[in-house]
Amino acid sequence: MASGDELSKVVDMMKQMHLMGSQLGSETRQRLKQLEAKMKAEAQQFMAENAKKIMIRESQGLDLLFLLDVTVSMKPYRDGVVNQIVTVVSHLEAMYKYSKDNIRVGVVGYRDLHLEPRFELLPFTPVSACNEGCNVIKQWLNKLKFTTDKANDYPEDVHGGLEKAAAPELGWKSAARTIVHIADAPGHGKRLTGPNASFRDDFPNHDADGKELVKLLTRLRLETKVQTYKFIHILDPKNEKTYTRVMLEEFRRACGDPAWIIESDWQGDEEMGLEVIAAASESIQNSVSQRTGAQQPAPERVYTIDPSEPDWESLPAQPITITRHDTQLLGSIQTLLQLIDNGNHIRIKEVTEGNVARVRIALNPFAKGKNRLAYYGRYYPKGLGGGEVHEMVLKEFISSAGSDNSAVVYKAQLEAQTVASFLAEHFNKHAAQAAPQLRVPPVKYAPCDLACVPTGPKTVRFLLIEPLILGGIYKYNNNYGFVDLADMQPYLQAFSHWTYEVTDKRLMVVDLQGFRTLAEEDEVEVVLVDPAIHCVNKDFFPSTNLAAEGGFEAFLHSHMNPKFNAHGPICTTLLPGCCAYREQQHDLARAQRDNNNNNNNNNNRSSSGLWQGGRGAAAGANRGRGKGRGGGNQSDAGNRQQGRGRGVNALREAWLQPAPPSRPEDDPAGSFSSMSSTSSIHERMKAIKEAMDVHALCRKWLREDGIPVPSNLAEAINLCQAFGKIKRQEVADKFHARRVAANKARHVW
């Protein structure tokens, strides 16, 4: 490809030759025309590539605003920001190719209503790990006075801080915009303090109807176009309580999009820095998707988030048809690549038998993700009287547009999870064969199917259906270069890289997110959901496929950076053998298929075939039912089962295997474990999350001394005791009690 200067010279030369054209022979003129056409095409391609680079660079520009309570109690946390600002900037520059000299930091400090000055503002300042920008921020923060009137009440002027965060004098302009709000006190008014607050509020009726808060947060989200609002709760050291949780619940209700707000607790300076990097990365990813057209605004359906578990007996038991991809026909990775090259999709098949299966779906979603709503559900595969019931999560797209709620759109998302699960199965096999000494944990995806629920004589509601998983949700990388530096899980980063190499650089599974939960024998495991797949064929997989927008390069840029050590022993051991593994596995699959054909004497021909093209409904599940409607996302699903190299169908069967009946066979409620029949979802979820918090704390303590944390929770607690991280026996006993409670809360199907 010629450079810009070379192209200019060629164009000038061609202009001169064009003037001479009338004096040249016809053959020469024809050659000149061909050369001119070629150079025009090359110039257009050059400009298009430059425009794309400019667009991607602009989309990675970041405005990062720290919104700080600057009263006396918050001074130590200001110091944390000062200590981490260079680390945050240098890590973002290393993580994103075009972030260098493309980050600006601003600060808004607020006090209480009667204190002067009420606010402190530092407009957005360009920063880089190599320039004076970070020093400007640090010097400004160090000079900042943290003042409080001793006669003052506890709440601060949070409303005023939110208003100043949108102030024109800050100079918001970058494509990616993040607010990091750090505070230990709520705002004024009972809506933010809670009706039973234990502290004094001199303005208990401030913004009594909440309209001002709605206006302020909506302005930040929709007018200022802040993509991510990160709030970090500060623990009161005197009584070990946080007083801002009620306020954040109100923030979620008032902002118009609960998923816009991300919360965490202050765990130390370093952890705060990593939280800021993750929040900024979320904004950059959103910016890339929006500016490249991969993610377009769409009208949303009307919904109300209700996290409570429904009264199941009051909900109708609706007919349901379950369909899934026929992975047995896929056979090999090479076959998958051939399908993609030919524009063919994996065939969908119906798995429900007869017309007996029923489902109960909560009326309101319990959670909202970026694109989908999540509903609690109960699935009765053999009907209400069949003695079998499973706790499920059903997800539908938030968009109310008909085009976003067709079977094709749901099938695309399902196909991403099917392919990710298929590749995970082969990653596990390859790791077991080529690197048994590394003891690579198995990569697991939750089973996912397409549910078709009739809503009328000719209409059907589509949803994705998964088991309910109990645990805390984490994101280990995204689809544009982010890697979680707090908990990298090297085997998951290696899996993403492996999928790129084993598919001959045509696919890459990213956006690795899922649940940390407790499995058998105290093992902490990760169960993944909702993957994104970059693919060279833009017609495959959902809009999270950013291959054409540099998704492959974005992952490799951060993954290969020695600053993060994400490209480790698993990669260096497995990647050189990817091509050989793909060929060997294809030969084995072909031999197995030929053997099956000979044994069955073509008896299975009627059930073979592939679902061609990107159109159609979900196999025969919805024939004659007309256009589908539906919507939704976000998952919280139920987990089980280990075993390296197990096929996705075997894993699905293990997860959906009902527990031995604890109730009479004719009881329509079906068979649950004793824990689930006596405890609510939220009680069980709380027990498992508390155990996962213990494991995270052990990981943090051991990491300080460079000690790897065991995946076994009991071993992690004992190791912390052995190295003096847990000094009191009562603390160890408390941690083990949480471990025992989590084991009881596990839902074993």
475-520 pLDDT, tens per residue?
Answer: 999 999 999 998 999 999 999 999 999 999 999 999 999 999 998 8
* Amino acid 712: pLDDT: 95
* Amino acid 329: pLDDT: 80
**Among the ranges given (47-56, 373-382, 662-671, 707-716), the one the predictor scored with the smallest mean pLDDT:** 662-671
Superfamily of domain 60-291: von Willebrand factor, type A domain (3.40.50.410)
* Amino acid 667: pLDDT: 34
- d(C-alpha 498, C-alpha 504), whole Å: 10
With H, G, I as helix, E, B as strand and everything else as coil, classify residue 679.
Answer: coil
Q: What is the CA radius of gyration of the chain?
A: 28
Neighbours of 357 (CB within 10 A): 21
* Amino acid 601: pLDDT: 54
One-character DSSP codes across 561-587: -TTTT-S-HHHHHHGGGHHHHHHHHHH
* Amino acid 622: pLDDT: 33
Global confidence as pTM: 0.82
Task: Decide if pLDDT at 620 tops 60.
Answer: no
> Could you tell me which residues are beta bridge partners of residue 319?
358
**Among the ranges given (80-89, 175-184, 587-596, 717-726), the one the predictor scored with the smallest mean pLDDT:** 587-596
Q: Which two tokens stand for residue 566?
A: 């994400």
**Among the ranges given (249-258, 349-358, 421-430, 525-534), the one the predictor scored with the smallest mean pLDDT:** 349-358
- d(C-alpha 378, C-alpha 312), whole Å: 8
> Could you tell me which residues are beta bridge partners of residue 513?
475, 529
Cα 381 to chain centroid, rounded: 30
Neighbours of 130 (CB within 10 A): 13
* Domain spans in the chain, listed from the N-terminal domain onward: 4-56, 60-291, 312-602+628-655, 674-745
One-character DSSP codes across 69-110: E-SGGGHHHHHHHHHHHHHHHHHHHHHSTT-TT-EEEEEEEE
Cα 563 to chain centroid, rounded: 23
Across the range 314-323, mean pLDDT stands at: 96
219-228 pLDDT, tens per residue?
Answer: 999 999 999 9
Across the range 540-553, mean pLDDT stands at: 91
Task: Decide if pLDDT at 98 tops 90.
Answer: no
**Among the ranges given (323-337, 531-545, 662-676), the one the predictor scored with the smallest mean pLDDT:** 662-676
Across the range 351-370, mean pLDDT stands at: 91
Question: What is the topology classification, in CATH, of domain 312-602+628-655?
Answer: Phosphorylase Kinase; domain 1 (3.30.200)
- d(C-alpha 177, C-alpha 58), whole Å: 12
Cβ pair 149, 114 in contact under 8 A: yes
- d(C-alpha 110, C-alpha 161), whole Å: 5
* Amino acid 592: pLDDT: 82
CA atoms within 13 A on the CB side of 264: 19
606 versus 582: the higher-pLDDT residue is 582
Q: Please list, residue by residue across 584-604, b when 16 or more beta carbons sit within 10 angstroms of its beta carbon and e when fewer do.
A: ebbeebeeebeeeeeeeeeee
% of the chain with per-residue pLDDT over 90: 61
* Amino acid 458: pLDDT: 87
Same fold, 60-291 and 312-602+628-655: no
- d(C-alpha 454, C-alpha 672), whole Å: 27
Task: Decide if pLDDT at 605 tops 60.
Answer: no
Q: How many DSSP H helices and E strands does the chain contain?
A: 20, 21
152 versus 361: the higher-pLDDT residue is 361
* Amino acid 301: pLDDT: 87
- d(C-alpha 680, C-alpha 673), whole Å: 12
- d(C-alpha 510, C-alpha 479), whole Å: 5
Q: Which two tokens stand for residue 392?
A: 């499920």
Q: Which residues contact 71 (CB under 8 A, 6 or more apart)?
A: 111, 112, 146, 147, 148, 156, 185
| Average pLDDT over the chain, rounded to an integer | 84
